[in-house]
A and B are shown apart, each in its own frame.
Chain A
Amino acid sequence: MSSFGEIISVSGSLVKANGLTSAKMNDIVEVGDLKLIGEIIRLESDICYIQVYEETSGLHLHEPVMTKEIPLSVELGPGLIGSIFDGIQRPLTEIGKKFGGFIPRGVKLPALDRHKKWHFVPKVKVNDKVKPGDILGEIKESEVIVHKLMTPYKVNGRIKSIGEGDFLIDDNFALIESNGKEIPIKGYQTWPVRIPRPYLNKLPVDTPLITGQRVIDTFFPISKGGKACIPGGFGTGKTMTLQTIAKWSDATIIVYIGCGERGNEMSDILSEFPKLEDPRTGKILMNRTIIIANTSNMPVSAREASIYTGITIAEYYRDQGFDVALIADSTSRWAEALREISGRLEEIPAEEGYPPYLASRLADFYERSGKVETLGGFNGSVTIMGAVSPPGSDFSEPVTQYTIKLVKTLWELDRDLAYSRHYPAINWINSFSKDYDFLVDWFSTNISEDHAEYRQKALELLIKDNNLQQLIKIIGEEGLPEQERLIVFISNIIKEGFLRQNALDPIERYTILEKQFMMLKTIIDFYDKATNLMTKFHITLDEIIDLPIIEEIKRMKYIPNEKYKDIKKISDKMEEEFKNLL
């Protein structure tokens, strides 16, 4: 068996090599004199097909290739939080310090800092029995995250030694005696990215991931452990919406994957997050965020890997009992990377040149979301939110179609809304949340018993309005009967005063659920009362439209969260004005 071979062909990011008799599928190899990192993606008799994660320019025939005989893996341990990595977990901040503005080839730096000392507090004692996933001790990783050092997979035994102290991650934090052998436990473990980390059970979802975005939380909520996709053409605000969720959602940990997107967007996050405070903890948002940045001009095969690197890190924190939100922007770029690699392998394509396994790869990825009982017996969750960038805004293309089938929540972005600068440009007719059925109880208990009822009423009004808008295009609004004009009028208030939300305004950018509900209730109550007056007391729509309260209802959104109860005053004033009409 030989772990050495030589290059016999180079074409783009695909390199073929022979002589590697010990090669296994998905193992990592070092390619050429520069030792570029690659992964074995096909084996054919003596020939290995290698996907190289770096620019291959200048590689020659006969240059050496060596297999590392381990699959593509990530390092999991303290120091991940607040870091920024490329698609194969190379630390970009360290690379920047060492090499300046540009990323050279063949860089090899460990993902986790080997020189940083961490204070470790054991949670088990000598002679305690431990099994995989059990917590051995805690490390304060950032201001808000207490990292839990877990017993690695497949390790069962008794604690031989453990103690409090300051350690480097390469040090032995504990010794576990297992089947007569002593297993040293370091501050980190490695895990192959393409294999989902194991858990005990999948649990049903029952809690919403609160984003502070009204259209999402009230109408199309996503559960902790849910999966959502956000398709939209360019300029419709995918990135803006996802960044807003990354900032304000109530997940404990955010993993943000910039997959084949713009470099300046990543630099925007990097310059903004360290300055922003979490509305709940008051702590800096970067203290809970991990960023994977493989921008569009970085090697395409590392882009393919970035999704897996991100989800594996997310699962690792899930296993510690955290709620993790994973944001992937954009999964279309990942699918395109798959297509590009597949094309170089000369595989027979299915739709639009994508490989036939596109649907199953997408499914594998989204399946790694969920709320679980971990091996250690905790509850943790991974919520996946992925952007989809349909070419030509054509939603019938394969990536969009397959993804919509897989997800439970869809936030469809609408070009017309974006054109009228209605952000978030989430279309309220086509979007859906299958999760809401599982969350009804939660909303009923925590917000209001009639949450579902008000939500339903508002959605119905919007659907009616949508149909009426078609009619208006032909006969004009003046041509509609009074009752229907009221629907159009109220729907406009819902759109302007509720659905549209300014992500840049300090008050507007985050709305607590209590305020969201009060706002919606006031608008719907207004509609019900107005209908009543118009049908029973023959008050005209023009009289209702002239009510001064309407201005206040439209501006409810500018009431600060902590004063949300003031909305009750608006509601009382509304009653008053209606009474005066009679």
Chain B
Amino acid sequence: MKESIVVHGIEKIIGPLLFLSHTEHVGYDELVVIETPDGTTKNGKVLEVNKDYTIVEVFENTSRLSLKGTNVKFLGSSYKLGVSTEMLGRIFSGSGKPRDNIPPPIVEEYFDINGSPINPVKREYPKDFIQTGISAIDCLFSIVRGQKLPIFSGFGLPHNKIVGQIINQATIRDSEEMVIIFGAMGVSQDEVYFFKKVFEESGVYQRVVMFLNLANDPPMERLLTPRIALTLAEYLAFKEGMHVLVLLSDMSSYAEALREVSSSKGEIPSRKGYPGYLYTDFASIYERAGRIKGVKGSITQIPILSMPNDDITHPIPDLTGYITEGQIVLDRELHNKGIYPPIKVLDSLSRLMKDGIGEGKTREDHPDLSSQLYASYSKSKSIEELALIIGQQELSKLDQTYLEFGNKFINRFIKQDWKEDRPIEKTLDLAWEILSTLPKSELNRINEKIIDKYYMFL
């Protein structure tokens, strides 16, 4: 590392940004420590360098900073995270400092938190099925190791419970152990307690690393949290060969912090005030999932984000959906009806399931079955809408059967207990049981041989 440069005094402060003059030898993206006269320090990084001034983004807030008497120290390199396997079982702040009153772990290696893009040629296409024990996910939106599959949630919806259940139950068929990295951005203390409890109860605590930026922690720090979490994940997955599950919650708080920096810099906003590069910025986080050829480990990402006003077209869920390999969308209506997990089947999708399911992986009937269930449920929904207008009595006999199917699908297939762990075979059998409500002739997405083998006459 280079010797650090110290600048005395700040030219101006706008929001989270500091403007400094006379800073000749500073590098773009360099890490900065700000020392106030009363001895406290804050951290930041260089956002822009030019001949007249340097712009520094402060991760903590800038309140009580003064122009004079403040020293700004440039550390000569971008943010590097010291990583080691000793970090397992520990809790850190959103910027990577210990938060559990234990001395920092001994660092094995340092990595730039921005990472480097994975060479597309070296990516291994993900296809190992992860069984979550949740029927809706396993059958309809199967997750594979190395996938990035977000949960689109909303205020008050039980996304944490679903993630908790996945952590409790997730098994991969070759039974290798999973490591969990939890990156929290702007979450409440209650949520942290909930997750701690889940980790303790499921006995995975020693395999969990938490990076916590709580709701009352500085918002700018949130811009670091996912990158820090993923830097450790890359180390554990690709250097140590572990299978890592990264949970990031809540990406909406992250995006809001990004918007704040952007508007302080006076950038031209795109939709809803978010910067035009939100897509690229999100991609630099989400794309850090996957597998690499010839390397044992993997990174599976489950980001959680809350849709403002339950609006799926809002830039945050919208841009996320364009990057991630599908999405699991939660439905307020189902939740209010007391259905858990309240998964909005028609809006949800897993893009990578096709190679992770079927013969030799889950069961031969799985691909056709899930496509048929989905299509039939879609049809039952449109009949439901029709019934609202013309009345259920006016429906044809077949249409009434569809309503019955739709009802069973939600109440027996989707609905399940928080502690109920359904193996994939049980899920698929249950799906056939419900699908058999419909006459055979309606099952036009399933191969005839498979129908003959599994269809149940009730």
Binding site for B on A (CB under 8 A): 8-12, 16, 55-62, 84, 92-93, 95-96, 99-105, 234-235, 258, 260, 262-264, 266-268, 270-271, 293, 295-298, 300, 333, 336-337, 339-340, 343, 349, 352-353, 389, 391-394, 419-421, 472-479, 496, 504, 551, 554
Contact A95 B119 (CB under 8 A): yes
Chain A residues contacting B323 (CB-CB under 8 Å) are: 262, 296
Chain A residue at minimal CB-CB distance from B115: A102
- CA–CA, A333 to B295, complex, Å? 30
Q: Decide if the interface of chain B is mainly helix, strand, loop or mixed.
A: mixed
Write the nearest CB–CB distance from A227 to chain B, whole angstroms. Answer: 23
Chain A residue at minimal CB-CB distance from B294: A101
Chain B residues contacting A264 (CB-CB under 8 Å) are: 123, 125-126, 146-147, 290, 325, 352
- CA–CA, A504 to B313, complex, Å? 30
Residues 251 to 299 of chain B near chain A (Cβ within 8 Å):
267-271, 276-277, 279-280, 283-284, 286-288, 290, 292-293, 295
Chain B residues contacting A333 (CB-CB under 8 Å) are: 279
Knowing that A101-B293, A391-B318, A551-B441 are A-B contacts, what are 4 other residue pairs whose CB atoms are under 8 Å apart, sorted by A's residue number? A61-B49, A270-B120, A297-B286, A392-B313
Contact B29 A58 (CB under 8 A): yes
Given A93-B121, A263-B287, decide whether A343 and B325 contact each other with a Cβ distance below 8 A. Answer: no
Tell yes or no: B122 within 8 A of A by CB: yes
Contact A295 B25 (CB under 8 A): no
Tell yes or no: B65 within 8 A of A by CB: no
- CA–CA, A254 to B47, complex, Å? 41
- CA–CA, A297 to B277, complex, Å? 12
Contact B50 A391 (CB under 8 A): no
Write the nearest CB–CB distance from A286 to chain B, whole angstroms. Answer: 13
Given A10-B50, A352-B271, decide whether A298 and B117 contact each other with a Cβ distance below 8 A. Answer: yes
Chain B residue at minimal CB-CB distance from A503: B354
Contact A57 B112 (CB under 8 A): yes
- CA–CA, A264 to B286, complex, Å? 12
Contact A103 B112 (CB under 8 A): no
Contact of A391 (CB < 8 Å), options: B123, B271, B327: B271
Chain B residues contacting A8 (CB-CB under 8 Å) are: 50-51
Contact B117 A58 (CB under 8 A): no
Contact A340 B280 (CB under 8 A): yes
- 7 smallest CB-CB distances across A and B, nearest first, come from A9-B50, A392-B313, A296-B283, A297-B287, A267-B123, A57-B29, A10-B28
Write the nearest CB–CB distance from B171 to chain A, whole angstroms. Answer: 22
Contact B270 A339 (CB under 8 A): yes
Contact B119 A476 (CB under 8 A): no
Tell yes or no: B77 within 8 A of A by CB: yes
Chain A residue at minimal CB-CB distance from B318: A392
Chain A residues contacting B371 (CB-CB under 8 Å) are: 421
Chain A residues contacting B238 (CB-CB under 8 Å) are: 101
Give how many A-B residue pairs fall within 8 Å (CB-CB).
Answer: 213
Chain B residues contacting A10 (CB-CB under 8 Å) are: 28, 48-50
Contact B120 A101 (CB under 8 A): no
Chain A residue at minimal CB-CB distance from B347: A419
Chain B residues contacting A297 (CB-CB under 8 Å) are: 117-118, 280, 283-284, 286-288
Contact A56 B28 (CB under 8 A): yes
Tell yes or no: B444 within 8 A of A by CB: yes
Contact of B287 (CB < 8 Å), options: A295, A349, A476, A477: A295
Contact A260 B49 (CB under 8 A): no
Contact B389 A474 (CB under 8 A): yes
Chain A residues contacting B352 (CB-CB under 8 Å) are: 264
Complex interface: stretch among B6-14, B35-43, B374-382: B374-382
- CA–CA, A343 to B287, complex, Å? 24
Chain B residues contacting A59 (CB-CB under 8 Å) are: 27-28, 49
Chain B residue at minimal CB-CB distance from A551: B441
Write the nearest CB–CB distance from A84 to chain B, whole angstroms. Answer: 6
Chain A residue at minimal CB-CB distance from B320: A234
Tell yes or no: B406 within 8 A of A by CB: no
Contact B120 A263 (CB under 8 A): yes
- CA–CA, A477 to B385, complex, Å? 13
Given A16-B50, A84-B120, A353-B270, decide whether A57 and B444 contact each other with a Cβ distance below 8 A. Answer: no
Write the nearest CB–CB distance from B23 to chain A, whole angstroms. Answer: 8
Given A476-B395, A478-B396, decide whether A57 and B114 contact each other with a Cβ distance below 8 A. Answer: yes
Given A60-B26, A421-B375, A473-B386, decide whether A391 and B268 contact each other with a Cβ distance below 8 A. Answer: no
Chain A residues contacting B293 (CB-CB under 8 Å) are: 101
Residues 15 to 33 of chain B near chain A (Cβ within 8 Å):
24-30
Q: List 16 A-B contacts (CB under 8 A).
A: A58-B28, A60-B27, A99-B119, A101-B118, A102-B119, A264-B352, A266-B123, A268-B125, A270-B120, A298-B117, A300-B277, A337-B280, A392-B315, A420-B375, A473-B385, A473-B389
Contact A475 B322 (CB under 8 A): no
Tell yes or no: B116 within 8 A of A by CB: yes
- CA–CA, A337 to B279, complex, Å? 10
Given A339-B270, A353-B276, A420-B379, decide whether A267 and B385 contact each other with a Cβ distance below 8 A. Answer: no
Write the nearest CB–CB distance from B344 to chain A, whole angstroms. Answer: 11
Chain A residues contacting B327 (CB-CB under 8 Å) are: 235
Write the nearest CB–CB distance from B271 to chain A, whole angstroms. Answer: 6
Given A95-B119, A420-B379, decide whether A61 and B25 contact each other with a Cβ distance below 8 A. Answer: yes
Chain B residues contacting A394 (CB-CB under 8 Å) are: 313
Chain A residue at minimal CB-CB distance from B45: A57
